[in-house]
Amino acid sequence: MNSLVNAPKKVAVQRTQAPGFFRYAHGDVVVTALYDGYVSLDPMTLTGLTDEERAEDLTRQMHALNADVDSAVNAFLIHDGKQLIMVDAGSAHVAGPTMGKLLKNIAAAGYTPEDVDTIILTHMHPDHIGGITNEQGVGFFPNAIVWTHKADADFWLDTNTADGLPDGEKAFVQIAIDAAAPYIASDRFNTFAFGDEIVPGLITAVDAAGHTPGHTAFMVTSAGQNMLFWGDISHIPAIQLPHPAATIELDVFPEMAVASRKRVLADTVKGQWVVGGSHQPFPGIGRVRQEGEGYAWVAAEYGAPSSLDD
């Protein structure tokens, strides 16, 4: 080996990560996954599985034991050519510096907040509703109507709810009230029930209750294809897919949350649905297969489908 190496030029090191959006063609609609950031979760706070199962699951995904797991916080845009619908809205300023990147990634994806016609919330936790309104109480999405399940609105918009919550979650009530306020004041806040067609012919509300009283999955059907935006069916996918009985202390009704997770996972496999998951690894789009008595995640791969430009 001889030494032909030139004296290298000094070029600035580029450290900026690629923008946090991801395009996915689903039937006749284009889905855009949006990265809001990540939430650090302590896997020890999950109950409903043995320590041995927990350790096995974490090891399988090469997570350190006894360390927090950083779960992505994803939102999604759905564009059918007629209206632009957003599923969840991230955290804005309400959940700390590892989140709040939604608006930046909406811009990176070629849209503006003014473009959003409809916001459908899987539930009203801070990392889903927090991103609709700024610190001054002004809505970020001036043209959007916000939809949530009536049971979630009744629960989270009632100041009395805080009394029954653990200390660490009491603040969630005021966060939801503050976020919803400008939309309620301008008559742009609405509720749905399970089974409602929120966008006729395109989006239906699917019962996924338990994590919160009105926790909802959204089924988006286009050109005969089904894609389920399942919200918080899992928080730490490395654990809760192989062990659906594992449930997080944030669940308002833990037993109902487990039942919903098991039902939604089974239905997803049976229906061979594509999934958009709030806390699956960004972009949160993939499919699910059965594995033993639990489930495994198969992430969508980067690589432009023929229907998308690159």
| Residue 159 near residue 168 (C-beta atoms within 8 A) | no
Sign of CA dihedral 63, 64, 65, 67: negative
Asked whether position 310 contacts its own copies by CB under 8 A, the answer is: yes
- 3-class secondary-structure state, position 54: helix
Of the two residues 132 and 173, which places its CB atom closer to its own copies in the complex? 132
Asked whether position 37 contacts its own copies by CB under 8 A, the answer is: yes
123-162 residues in contact with its own copies (CB under 8 A) are: 143, 145
Sign of CA dihedral 96, 123, 76, 262: positive
What's the min distance (Å) between Cβ of 299 and its own copies?
7
Asked whether position 273 contacts its own copies by CB under 8 A, the answer is: no
Asked whether position 117 contacts its own copies by CB under 8 A, the answer is: yes
With CB under 8 A, what is the number of residues at the site for its own copies?
A: 69
Neighbouring residues of 146: CB distance < 8 A, sequence distance ≥ 6: 119, 121, 132, 180, 183, 188, 189, 190
Q: Which ranges constitute the DSSP H helices of 190-294? A: 237-240, 254-271
Q: How far apart are CA 275 and CA 51, in angstroms?
A: 28
Asked whether position 21 contacts its own copies by CB under 8 A, the answer is: yes
Interface residue with its own copies, options 45, 65, 193, 255 (CB under 8 A): 193
Residue with structure tokens 């909802």?
216
Asked whether position 224 contacts its own copies by CB under 8 A, the answer is: no
Which is it for strands 69-79 and 21-26: parallel, antiparallel or unpaired? Answer: unpaired
Asked whether position 201 contacts its own copies by CB under 8 A, the answer is: no
Asked whether position 35 contacts its own copies by CB under 8 A, the answer is: yes
231-250 residues in contact with its own copies (CB under 8 A) are: none
The region that residue 271 occupies, defined by phi over 0 for left and psi between -120 and 50 for alpha, beta otherwise, is alpha
Stretch that binds its own copies, among 50-58, 169-177, 192-200, 258-266 (CB under 8 A): 192-200
What's the min distance (Å) between Cβ of 116 and its own copies?
9
Stretch that binds its own copies, among 42-50, 129-137, 259-267, 295-303 (CB under 8 A): 295-303
What token pair was written down for 53?
């199962």
Stretch that binds its own copies, among 43-51, 188-196, 216-224, 251-259 (CB under 8 A): 188-196
Q: How far apart are CA 70 and CA 215, in angstroms?
A: 22
What's the min distance (Å) between Cβ of 150 and its own copies?
9
Asked whether position 276 contacts its own copies by CB under 8 A, the answer is: no
Stretch that binds its own copies, among 30-38, 48-56, 162-170, 247-255 (CB under 8 A): 30-38
What token pair was written down for 104?
């930046």
Would you mind telling me the total number of residues written for the chain in this entry? 310
293-to-46, 241, 265, 296 alpha-carbon distances in Å? 18, 10, 12, 10
By CB under 8 A, name the binding residues for its own copies. 1-2, 4-6, 8-11, 13-23, 30, 32, 35, 37-38, 59-62, 70, 72, 79, 81-84, 101, 108-111, 115, 117-118, 143, 145, 187-188, 190-193, 196, 198, 281-283, 287, 289, 298-299, 301-304, 307-310
